[in-house]
Amino acid sequence: MMRFDGKTCIVTGGGSGIGRATCLRMASEGGRVVAADLNADAAKATAADIV
């Protein structure tokens, strides 16, 4: 996977499943991640795991 240094990554469905895994991976690769999800609590949980 490519590095995401200096990039902003918007992930829909970022609260669970593949979207959550994508958020975590992009953050670990240096990206600034926006986790968008209909379930706001799940998106907040993903964000908390990234920080």
For the record, the structure tokens of 39 come out as 């379930």
pTM of the model: 0.90
In the three-class reduction of DSSP (H, G, I as helix; E, B as strand; rest coil), residue 39 is classed as coil
**Of 24, 19, 21, residue with least CA distance to 36:** 19
| Segment 2-28, tens digit of pLDDT | 789 999 999 999 999 999 999 999 999
| Segment 24-40, tens digit of pLDDT | 999 999 999 999 999 99
